[in-house]
Copies of this chain bind each other. A is one copy, B any other.
Amino acid sequence: MGIVISLDEREKKSGASLDNLLALIRPDLERTNQLIIQRMGSDVTTIPEVANHLISAGGKRLRPMLVLATAGMCGYKGDGHLKFAAGIEFMHTATLLHDDVVDESDMRRGKIAARMLWGNETCVLVGDFLLGHAFKMMVEPGNLPCLTVVSSAAAVIAEGEIMQLNAAKDTQTTEDAYMEVIRRKTAELFAAAAEVGVILSGRPKADIAAARSYGMNLGVAFQLIDDALDYGGSSAKLGKNVGDDFREGKITLPVVLAFRRGTESEREFWRRTLEKAEIKDGDVEIACGLMKKHKALDDTIERASHYAAIARDAMEIFPPSPSKSALLEVLDFCIERVH
């Protein structure tokens, strides 16, 4: 399994990319990948099969990259960052496996969802296995403050998932309530990843707080752009994956905005399709049309840019360095992939 970075056409056209970041951390990322493969091994053969299905399925390894890049920026010399990079990817993979069960998804990262191939039971248990091994691996560097960060993140992520489940299919969700969910469910792990690299390097509190703020706001921006992409992004072009969130009845920021800005009959459309899950042919196109009419996607991207700007300012206390520049470029990459 090599380093898998899938850049689709849209991404290639944009100016910002992950290339500079990758060039800086490539040896560490390769060692992280080796660690991932080694630690997902088990004499219970189902485990590497399922884990490999997800881990090699073309994730961008964004979270491990944050650990490696922030450690690199701070001049970290040990190899504890590899354990945290691999451990955080395991935590992420575990939540994907459990999410598939919770969402009853058929697809994940463009492949058949693991639960369709191995069943819900196996996905729950392989997720637990990965979580257990994540902690086992992250205990090894012997850094207690880092362990506090990642274990707190594990609890917060689960809370975010439950909040999302409770608010599921509720078109009345406010923007604030939605932001609270994605901060916990998505951004918290980005924050932990960025923070850990700096803590490992023995940096002062202000630097740790800066990295956390960068990770948190990048995570929020990343999720909002994902939400916009699910309805075709700024061009609202209907690509192959457009409408997945819609068909699953997920309330995301574009929906929150379109619902609030909509007429009563438009709100009835959102209630029918998302709350009652009565979706007819052509409804995805209508949904995208309403998004366009109310500038819901443009404004979701606008909101994402706002959080990216906060992340950028948080980073300013670090002196100039190639790692810092590469981390700032991740923010542009994150936003530009939508155009």
Distance in angstroms from A259 CB to nearest chain B CB is: 23
A286 at the B interface (CB under 8 A): no
**Residue of B47, B101, B153, B154 touching A162 (CB-CB under 8 A):** B47
Distance in angstroms from A51 CB to nearest chain B CB is: 11
Mask of A100-134 contacts with B, CB within 8 angstroms, 1/0: 01100000000000000000111011111101110
- Given A47-B159, A47-B162, A98-B124, residue A151 in contact with residue B132 (CB < 8 A): yes
A161 at the B interface (CB under 8 A): yes
One of A8-16, A139-147, A223-231, A331-339 at the interface = A139-147
Q: Give the docked Cα–Cα distance between A46 and B157 (Å).
A: 15
Of all chain B residues, the one with the shortest Cβ separation from A153 is B132
A163 at the B interface (CB under 8 A): yes
- Interface set, chain A 235-271, CB cutoff 8 A to B: none
Q: Note all chain B residues with C-beta closer than 8 A to A94.
A: 128
Contact (Cβ within 8 A) A125 B165: yes
Q: Note all chain B residues with C-beta closer than 8 A to A140.
A: 148
Contact (Cβ within 8 A) A125 B144: no
Of all chain B residues, the one with the shortest Cβ separation from A160 is B44
Mask of A68-108 contacts with B, CB within 8 angstroms, 1/0: 00000000000000000000000000110010011000000
A5 at the B interface (CB under 8 A): no
Contact (Cβ within 8 A) A162 B98: no
* Most B-side CB within 10 Å, residue of A127, A147, A162: A162
* Most B-side CB within 10 Å, residue of A147, A153, A157, A163: A147
Contact (Cβ within 8 A) A136 B151: yes
Contact (Cβ within 8 A) B120 A101: yes
- Interface set, chain A 206-221, CB cutoff 8 A to B: none
Of all chain B residues, the one with the shortest Cβ separation from A95 is B128
A155 at the B interface (CB under 8 A): yes
Contact (Cβ within 8 A) B44 A163: yes
